[in-house]
């Protein structure tokens, strides 16, 4: 099972490492803030929910990603319509 850790916490982004390598940078919705418990180096779990295929075909994203901070068990939801800045391919 991969290990996910927080790489960076910005004003409008949250970076996540997968097994120590850059994996994903999430962009946050306007006025959304990363919880104060989430610190660089902390371990998290990542639960991606794609949402409805019919909604995606219609151009509406209903999906989200829940990021749980393991130490506090707090869950932070990032909506998929807030487009990710980058993702390292799982194939590499």
Condensed to tens digits (0 to 9), the pLDDT of residues 22-58 reads: 999 998 988 999 999 999 999 999 998 877 666 666 6
- Residues 46, 4: Cα–Cα separation, whole Å: 7
Condensed to tens digits (0 to 9), the pLDDT of residues 2-16 reads: 999 999 999 999 999
What's the helix, strand, coil split of the chain in %, to 5?
A: 5, 45, 50
Condensed to tens digits (0 to 9), the pLDDT of residues 45-91 reads: 999 887 766 666 666 666 889 999 999 999 999 987 645 444 554 44
Position 43 scores a pLDDT of 98
> Cβ of 28: how many Cβ atoms within 10 Å?
17
């Amino acid at each position: 099972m991969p290990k996910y850790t927080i790489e960076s916490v910005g004003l409008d982004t949250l970076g996540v490492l997968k097994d120590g390598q850059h994996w994903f940078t999430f962009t946050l919705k306007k006025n959304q803030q990363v919880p104060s418990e989430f610190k660089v180096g902390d371990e998290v779990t990542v639960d991606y929910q794609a949402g409805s295929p019919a909604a995606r075909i219609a151009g509406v994203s209903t999906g989200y990603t829940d990021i749980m901070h393991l130490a506090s068990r707090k869950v932070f939801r990032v909506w998929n319509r807030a487009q990710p800045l980058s993702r390292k391919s799982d194939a590499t």
